[in-house]
Amino acid sequence: MATDQLSLTFSALSDPTRRALLARLAGGEATVNELAEPFEMTLAAISKHLRVLEGAGLISRSKDAQYRPARLDARPLAAASEWIGDYARFWEANMDALDSYLNALQQLTTNTPSTAGETK
C-alpha cells in the first residue's frame, strides 16, 4: 500500500525522539554516535529512528565508508507546514468572529442601563 508524503512526514514526526533528532540535525550534520549521546537508548534504537526519518525523506545520510553522517532535509516539512497553515487560517477566522461577537455583547451591556440596586 502506497503512503503519501504528508502521511510519512506526520508519522515520522509523531515520535518525540525523532523530533529531537531533527532538532539536533537542524544545527548541522551528525553521526549516529553524536545523535545518540543525549538519549538513554542503544545505537540500534537510534538507527531505527533514523531509518524512519530517512524513509520519510526528512534526513539523508551519506555513504563515506563507515562514516555516515545524517543531515536534515526539511523539504517535506514545507508541505506539512502548508497543510497546518490552512487550519491556522481557519482558527484565526473563527477567533476573529468570536472576538467580534464578544465586542458586540460588550457594547450591548455597556449601553444597557443597569437595574442593580433599583427599587420599585
Check pLDDT > 90 for residue 112.
no
Task: Give the whole-number percent of the chain exceeding pLDDT 70.
Answer: 89
Check pLDDT > 60 for residue 1.
no
The structure's pTM equals: 0.72
User: What are the sequence ranges of the domains in the chain?
Assistant: 5-75
Tell me the three cell numbers of residue 118: 433599583
Check pLDDT > 70 for residue 120.
no
Q: What is the pLDDT of residue 94?
A: 83
Q: Distance between CA 112 and CA 102 in Å, rounded?
A: 15
Average pLDDT over residues 37-52: 95
pLDDT band at 91 (very low <50, low <70, confident <90, very high): confident
CATH architecture entry for 5-75: Orthogonal Bundle (1.10)
pLDDT per residue as tens digits for the range 60-81: 998 776 778 999 999 999 999 9
CA distances from 26 to 4, 23, 60 (A): 24, 5, 12
- Under a CB-based contact definition with an 8 Å cutoff, are residues 60 and 50 in contact? no
